[in-house]
Structure formats: structure tokens, C-alpha cells
Amino acid sequence: MSKSIVKSVSSKSIVEQAKGSFHGGIHPAEFKNISNQQSIKDLPIAAQLVIPVKQQLGQTGEVVVNLGDRISRGQLLVKATGILSANIHSPADGIVTSLSPAYVGHPSGMKSAAITIKTDLEQSEGKIFEPIDWRNPSNLEEIQSRIRQAGIVGLGGATFPTHVKTSSREINTLIVNAMECEPFITCDDRMLKDIPKQVIEGAQIVANLVKAKNIIFATEDNKQLSIEKLSEAISKTTESIPMSIVVAPTKYPSGGEKQTIELVTGKQVPSGKIPASMGLLVQNVATLHAVFNAVVKGQPLYQRLVTITGNLVDRPGNYWIAFGTQITDLIEHFNVDVNDCEKVIIGGPLMGQSVTDFTAPVTKATNCLIFNKADKTEKAWLTQTTEHQPCIRCGECEKVCPADLLPQQLLWYSQSDQWENLQQQGILDCIECGACAYVCPSEIPLVQYYRYGKSSLKDIQRKNVIAEKAKKRFDFKEMRIQREKAERAAKHKKAAEARRQAALDKKNDSDGKQQAINDALARVKQKKASVGQAQGVAQTETDEKKES
Amino acid sequence: MLELLIATLTLVGFAFICGSLLGFASIKFKVEGNPIVDQINEVLPQTQCGQCGYPGCKPYAEAIAEGEAINRCPPGGEAGIKALAELLDMEVVELDESCGEESLPTVVVIREDECIGCTKCIQACPVDAITGAAKMMHTVIESECTGCDLCIPPCPVDCIDIVEIQPTIDDWHWPNPAQLNKPSQIPVKVIS
């Protein structure tokens, strides 16, 4: 670890302005200082935890505990199946009391597989792994498998399994996404203020793993304090991979992966391509901290930093909350007046979703919970009529779309079920940021239309796959029947041929068999005749004796 | 006179070259089978249920190419008819009710303790989704079952049930906001 590099980095200013900018974007009220004033605290583990079996993008894992099992903190509960999957560990010591499906806060309102744990009063440390000396280059494989074992997924909200991203070895730059552009959410901001060293170490571990040559922390200019803390920590560090901070003007949604890249590098990631194709890896602050926990502390991902905010919360702030902690427990802990609280928003107010069933648990995807007073300021027609106002073609949505799409066109095609056109208009590039719906003067729930369109496209794709499979099997059966028929026919033909040949042989006696049989028969006849003669002679002799 | 001859010969020669080119192309690039049949077959849902009156999707596709009505496929439903109409540039028509009704996707399940192992359903299954042997219990491979229900009539002991496929969280479909009572709003917009 040469110190000269560090010195050269720290000698010039490590904070710079963002080079690029992205199309559109909005400036909603921030509401961030409700929760970013207090330092991070731990939340005591609740008496009961409901842990959804699927908490990440990709395949559902396999449950490896049984009903009634005594489990320890950090123990594996769900084992990943396949590449795009992640382990889930127990956040507490306790007993598995139920494996039946539970409400997990999914927008469908459907229940999903979950593990319910009754927790013990006394909790162990939960550090189940051996720490790894990540600076030793021979341990890279081990770090990669640790990231996988620890069940780390993207904690910015997308929950994409991290080990898939870190398996790339052609990365130039690791971008640490600390934009946190959505209103109310402050967990990444607070993490950089309180524990910047751990985040830096996590970033170094990942950068080292993917062989990145530099690390860029990307943040917005409304987080001055965390920028200060971070640059202070960077200037003090002795790590080898150079780090810098890029500050972008505050604008929503600069935290989107492709938007962040555009801000930092000034280049766009082409549609359908991943950042790794440009030599870039983007990781969220909290994800890197989880990597630090797994590699340095040996702690799997079983809790996360969650922003608890809103005007109904007693002590808003950022808390370490175990996965599976139900909203009901949080309501109790933060003295939320349930009468005033009709729904809770999980995630941010633009991209999150509201839940009305408060048994929903905190999962790997939950970065924020907003408990706000049921608002009385809604415009009357919004609640009275079921239909939104028609689109007036004002074009405001197009101006704010960060993905450079045409939101109006997407709306028309979604409304009229024209899925092919919808796809051609680039619906799959829509990041569902909600900027278009935010500016829409007709209050059209645009994102809901896009989600409807996207899931219709997914449905069609799934049906096509099923149809293709059925077609293959049908064709195969047809082929098999034909083949069997042909085989049978061939067999019959062969048998008939053989019979005919036999008959012919019999007639022609080509190999002399018939002749042999005839000869044998003749011999038998002859023998019989001669025996009869001899017997006749003997008979006459005895007769003669009797007479004499 | 000579000019006339030259012109005629040129044209005849030109026509001959073009003709032989076309003739060559028609042999060299000959298309096996009827390509439109394959295109129609792509659109059909491949349940192989025979509700259209043909023994499978491919035969129905062949029949459509010959001029059969496009509204005889209940599993394809309205969307299927739309897709066929678009492909063949025809009018969208309502589903022919005599063929059946559009229903939610289903699969069949064998009540295994009642199965006598007659193999009749195995022979009836168009996609080989039933496994078992003579005098042995049979069972349906649900992931392969297209819900065509062709195995039900041959079963001598009526031990096959039709089960609707329950949507799971993974294949859940976002609802159409136009049909929702209360489309959700963006909270931050309401607050500010």
C-alpha cells in the first residue's frame, strides 16, 4: 500500500462538481431534516419477527429451517437457489413458530411465504463468519463468496444480488451512490455522517475485488455536512485506491443508476446495456456498509438502516432495524397515533408504496418508512371521482422524464393495450421514478399505467415461453408417434418378409432342408417296414413251436 | 429493319436473362411448407386442446391458412383473435361460443389414490405432461400441463380434476389504473 498515491490524491481537492447532467428531473420539497438531525441508533429486537422468504430480485430461495427449530442470530434461514438469488439469515436468537404465508407488504396484498420467529430476550452477537484480511490479494475469491454467503443485495431499494455485480473483473471506476434524491429518506446521508470510515472500507473492499482503479462518491449538494465528514475521512485514510467526491446539484431522480452515471461521467448508458459494459460499477452506500460488515466483522445481512420519519413519529431518525420487524411494532415504539395514520409509505414518497396492513415487515428493500397524518389537503375531485382528468397534451411530463422517454405516448399505448408499440416507445427503460406523474396537471397516475403496461409485457413474454415449450413437446410427441408407427411398420414388414422368404424356401428347398426331412421320413418309413417284417418272422416261429 | 431486329433481340435476351434468374431463384430459394401457417401457429397459444375442432394448434393454423374462421380458439381469447386479425389483416370478430369460453388458465391434477393405472390419460395428453406406467399410479407434471383437458374424457374412474392456476406474487399483474376505484397518488405532491 504505497502512501505516495494517497498523498497525491489528498493534496488536490477531492471534491468536484458533477461533469454531466441528465434530461428532466424535478425539485420536490425535501422533508429531509425531519430525520437527518439525530445520529444513528439501534432499535431493540421485537418479540416477533416475520421474515419473508423472498426479499430480493430474482429467484426465491429454499427454506432450510423447520417449524419449532431453535435458531441463533445470523443462522441461515433461506438458502439461495441459482445465481440471481440471495441467502437470508436470522436477525435474532429465537424459535421458528410458523412457516405459513404472511402478509409481506407486497402491492398485490397477497400473502407470501414467510418465517415467523419468536425472539429471545437475550441476544447473541450474530457474527457467524471469520473476518477476512481483504488487503491480501489471495483472498479475493473468498471475499466474493462471502458477499454471496452474507446475502447482500442492493440496499438502495432495487435489491439486486450484489455478488452478481461484483463478479465482473473489468471495472474501471466504482461509483458509490450517495445521491439519495428522494424526499424524506436520509439513511445514506446519516451513514456517511456517522460511520464514513466503515463505508470507505466497504468501498475499498469492493473496488479491490473488481479491480477498480478509482472510487467516486456521488452525492447531491444538499448534503453539505456528509460531504464534509466524508472528505475528512477520505483525507485521513491510508487506503490505496484513490477516492474522490462528485457533487451534483440537487434534483430528483439523480440517484437512479443510469442518472448517477450520466452525472458523474457525462456519458449515457445505452438502452439495454449494463454499466459494467462501460467499466462502471455503481453501489449504494448501505450496500457497501453491508459488505464491510460481512468481510471485516463477519456479520451477515440481517438488519439495515431505515429512516423512520413523518409528522406522526415521536423520535424520527435513522435506526438499525432487524429484517422482519413488523410495522405494528414500530408504531408502538415510535408512539404513532394509529387513528391519524391511515396508511404507511414504505420507501420514498415518489417510488415507494403505501400499505394499509400494518403487519407488513421491514425487508432488505425497506429504506424508509413514512408515518404521516392522513392529509386533508387532497383536492376534492381526487377522492370523489374514480377517474383522473384526461391528458391535455401539455408536454410537461416529457420535459421532466429522466430517461428521455415520451410519457404521453406511453400513456396512450398503455391505455389502449398496444403492447408492441409500448415496447417500441421504450417502456422498459422507464425507471418508474414518478417525475411525470408529479408534474401532471391532470393528476394522471402515470406510473401505475406504466407498471400495468410493463406487467402486461411480462405476461405476454411468459405466455410465449409456455407456448413455445408446449409446442416443442407437442411436436416431439407427434414425432415420437410417427417414429413408433414407422418402427412398427418396419417390424411388420420385416416379419412379413421373413414369412414370405420361409414359404419360398420351403417351396424351393434352396438349402436342402426339405430334402433332408424327406430323406429322414423315408428312412423312418423304411425302418418301420423292416421292423414289421422281423416281427412277422418271429411270430411264425413261436406258432410253429406251439404246434409242435 | 435492322434496328427493329436489334430492339427485339435485346428485349428477348433481357427477358430470357430475367426469366432464368427468376427460375433459378425459385428453385434455389424454395420455401418448404407454407410460411403463413408457421406465423399463425406462433400466435396460437399451443394448448393443443382441440376446442377449435382440429387435433392441435398446427392443424388449426393450417385450416386458418385455408380460410377457416379465426375465432375458434377459446384459450387464445380476445387477445389471440386480435393478434390473428392483425397478422392476416382481417376484421376482429367475437369468439365463437360453440367452441367454448375464454377462461382463466387451468391445469389438471390426478387424484392419485383413485388412479388405477390404465395409461389412457397418458395416451391422450398432447404434450406428454402425464407420467406413469401400466397399473402404476399416474401423475401430472403441472409445469408442462397446458390445461387442454383432453385427458378427462378417457379416464374410466374420473379421478382427474381441473384446477385454476392461482396467481403467485411473482407473476402478479399490476392492475389497470383505469379500473381502480382509487388510483394511488404521489404523497409528497399532496403534502406540499
3-state secondary structure A475-521: HHHHHHHHHHHHHHHHHHHHHHHHHHHHHHHHHHCCCCHHHHHHHHH
Q: Given CB atoms, is B33 within the 8 Å cutoff of chain A?
A: no
Can you give the pLDDT at residue A14? 85
Can you give the pLDDT at residue A259? 94
Q: Is A368 annotated as a binding residue?
A: no
Mean pLDDT over the full length of chain A: 88
Can you give the pLDDT at residue B190? 65
With a pLDDT cut of 90, the percent of chain A lying above it is 66
Cβ proximity of A246 and A21 under 8 Å? no
Annotation: CATH topology of A15-355:
Rossmann fold (3.40.50)
Can you give the pLDDT at residue A219? 95
Q: From A414, A457, A463, select the one nearest A437 (Cα to Cα).
A: A414
- Mean pLDDT score, A490-508: 88
Task: Give A532's Cβ-side CA count (13 Å radius).
Answer: 6
Can you give the pLDDT at residue A408? 95
- Is residue B25 classed exposed, middle or buried when 0-12, 13-18 and 19+ CB atoms within 10 A define those classes? exposed
Angle CA A31–A33–A38, to nearest 5 = 140
ipTM of the complex: 0.80
Q: How far apart are CA A418 and CA B135, in angstroms?
A: 51
Q: Which of A167-181, A256-270, A499-513 has the lowest mean pLDDT?
A: A499-513
* Residue B91 clears pLDDT 80, i.e. is over it: yes
- Mean pLDDT score, B25-42: 85
Give the contacts of A195 (CB within 8 A, at least 6 positions apart). A40, A289
Can you give the pLDDT at residue A381? 38
Closest partner residue to B169 (CB to CB) among A112, A382, A469 is A112
Can you give the pLDDT at residue A119? 94
Q: How far apart are CA A52 and CA A156, in angstroms?
A: 18
Give the residue on B whose Cα is nearest the Cα of A311. Answer: B191
Q: Which chain A residues are closer than 8 Å to B182 by Cβ?
A: 383, 386
Mean pLDDT over the full length of chain B: 88
Shortest distance, CA A74 to any CA of chain B (angstroms): 27
Residue A116 has phi, psi (to 5 degrees) of -100, 130
* Residue A502 clears pLDDT 70, i.e. is over it: yes
Q: Given CB atoms, is B174 within the 8 Å cutoff of chain A?
A: yes
Q: Which of A314-323, A325-334, A372-381 has the lowest mean pLDDT?
A: A372-381
Within chain B, all domains assigned CATH 1.10.15 are found at 35-99
A515-527: burial string, b at 16+ Cβ within 10 Å, e else: eeeeeeeeeeeee
- Mean pLDDT score, A447-464: 91
Shortest distance, CA B5 to any CA of chain A (angstroms): 57
- pLDDT-derived band at A380, boundaries 50, 70, 90: very low
Question: Within B29-138, where are the H helices?
Answer: 35-43, 57-65, 77-88, 120-124
Q: Given CB atoms, is B178 within the 8 Å cutoff of chain A?
A: yes
- Mean pLDDT score, B144-156: 91
Can you give the pLDDT at residue B11? 96
Which residues of B belong to the annotated binding site for [4Fe-4S] cluster?
A: 49, 52, 57, 73, 115, 118, 121, 125, 145, 148, 151, 155
Convert the pLDDT of each residue in B13-27 to its tens digit: 999 999 999 999 989
- pLDDT-derived band at B175, boundaries 50, 70, 90: confident
Can you give the pLDDT at residue A322? 95
Q: Which of A456-460, A472-476, A491-495, A516-520 has the lowest mean pLDDT?
A: A516-520
Tell if the pTM clears 0.90, that is, is over it.
no
Q: Is A401 annotated as a binding residue?
A: yes
The edge-to-edge listing of strands for the beta sheet with A62-63 is A62-63, A76-79, A88-89
Residue A94 region, left (φ>0) first, then alpha (ψ -120 to 50), else beta? left
Annotation: CATH topology of B35-99:
3-methyladenine DNA Glycosylase II; Chain A, domain 3 (1.10.15)
* Residue A7 clears pLDDT 50, i.e. is over it: no
Convert the pLDDT of each residue in B45-55 to its tens digit: 888 888 899 98
Q: Given CB atoms, is B189 within the 8 Å cutoff of chain A?
A: yes
Which residues of B belong to the annotated binding site?
A: 49, 52, 57, 73, 115, 118, 121, 125, 145, 148, 151, 155
Can you give the pLDDT at residue A394? 94
Can you give the pLDDT at residue B96? 87
CATH number of the structural domain B106-164: 3.30.70.20
Residue A359 region, left (φ>0) first, then alpha (ψ -120 to 50), else beta? alpha
- pLDDT-derived band at B168, boundaries 50, 70, 90: confident
Q: Given CB atoms, is B104 within the 8 Å cutoff of chain A?
A: no
* Residue A4 clears pLDDT 50, i.e. is over it: no
* Residue A10 clears pLDDT 50, i.e. is over it: no
* Residue B151 clears pLDDT 70, i.e. is over it: yes
* Residue A543 clears pLDDT 70, i.e. is over it: no
Can you give the pLDDT at residue B100? 85
Can you give the pLDDT at residue A5? 40
Q: Which chain B residues are closer than 8 Å to A469 by Cβ?
A: 144
Shortest distance, CA A446 to any CA of chain B (angstroms): 9
Q: From A389, A359, A309, A378, select the one nearest A103 (Cα to Cα).
A: A359
- Mean pLDDT score, B59-76: 90
Give the residue on B whose Cα is nearest the Cα of A347. Answer: B187
Give the contacts of B4 (CB within 8 A, at least 6 positions apart). none
Q: What pairing do the DSSP bridges indicate for beta strands A368-371 and A344-346? A: antiparallel
Shortest distance, CA B158 to any CA of chain A (angstroms): 24
Can you give the pLDDT at residue A3? 41
Can you give the pLDDT at residue A105? 86
Q: Which chain A residues are closer than 8 Å to B185 by Cβ?
A: 378, 382, 443, 445
- pLDDT-derived band at B192, boundaries 50, 70, 90: low
Can you give the pLDDT at residue A287? 96
* Residue A1 clears pLDDT 60, i.e. is over it: no
- Mean pLDDT score, A227-234: 93
Within chain B, all domains assigned CATH 3.30.70.20 are found at 106-164
- pLDDT-derived band at A537, boundaries 50, 70, 90: low
**What's the Cα-to-Cα distance from A96 to each of A56, A105, A299, A360, B39, rounded to whole Å?**
22, 21, 21, 18, 54
Q: Which three cell numbers stand for residue A446?
A: 402515470
Give the H/E segment covering residue A546.
helix A513-547
Q: Is A433 annotated as a binding residue?
A: yes
Can you give the pLDDT at residue A51? 95
Q: Cα–chain-centroid distance for residue A268?
A: 24
Closest partner residue to A386 (CB to CB) among B45, B168, B181 is B181
- pLDDT-derived band at A378, boundaries 50, 70, 90: very low
* Residue B94 clears pLDDT 80, i.e. is over it: yes
Give the contacts of A255 (CB within 8 A, at least 6 positions apart). A156, A177, A179, A180, A181, A182
* Residue A379 clears pLDDT 70, i.e. is over it: no
Convert the pLDDT of each residue in A258-315 to its tens digit: 999 999 999 999 988 999 999 999 999 999 999 999 999 999 999 999 999 988 898 9
Q: Given CB atoms, is B126 within the 8 Å cutoff of chain A?
A: yes
Within chain A, all domains assigned CATH 3.40.50.11540 are found at 15-355
Can you give the pLDDT at residue A281? 95
